[in-house]
Amino acid sequence: LLQGQECPIVGVSTAEMLSRFARGSRAPASALARRAAPALTQRRNFIAGSEEYGKHCFKGAVADAYLAKHGLPAGLLDDPSWTTTSADKVAAAVMDWAHDNGASVMTHWFQPMASLGVRHGQTGQVHNAMFTFDKDGK
C-alpha cells in the first residue's frame, strides 16, 4: 500500500495502521480477521453436512465390485482371514475405489500397542498422497 491509501481488508489508511501498530493496538488484526473470515468459510465448501456422513464407505456391494476387479470373491471382507491371505489385493481395491471417488490423500490413524498388548493412549498417523504419472513420469 502507498502512503495515504486505505487498506481494502482492514478499512483504515496506512497512516492509521502504523499509528495503531505503534500504540500496540490489535484493532487492525481483529478487523482483518472479521473481513477475512467469510472468504475462509467460502473455501470450506468441501466439508459436507451430516447427510453426507458415512456415504462413502468401502463395504457391501460397493466393496464387492472393486474386489471383483482384483479377482477377489464377494463378501471377502466378512471373513477376517483376508488380512493374512489377500491384504495386498484388498489394499489395491481400496485405492482404486478412493481414486474413483476423487481422493488425493489417504490417512491411516492408529493406536500402537505396547509390548504387553496394552494401549498407552498414544496415537500415530500415516499420510499418503496419491499421484498419477503419465508415461514420461510427469
Banded pLDDT at 113 (limits 50, 70, 90):
confident
Question: pLDDT band at residue 40, thresholds of 50, 70 and 90?
Answer: very low
* CA 85/CA 64 separation, integer angstroms: 17
Q: Using one digit for the tens of pLDDT, what is the confidence trace for 50-84?
A: 777 777 889 999 999 999 999 999 999 999 999 99
Q: Is there a contact between 93 and 66 (Cβ–Cβ < 8 Å)?
A: yes
Query: Is the predicted pLDDT of residue 11 greater than 70, yes or no?
Result: no
Q: Which residue reads 453426507 in cell numbers?
A: 52
29-59 exposure pattern, b = at least 16 Cβ within 10 A, e = fewer: eebeeeeeeeeeeeeeeeeeeeeeeeeeeee
Task: Work out the pLDDT band at 97, boundaries 50, 70, 90.
Answer: very high
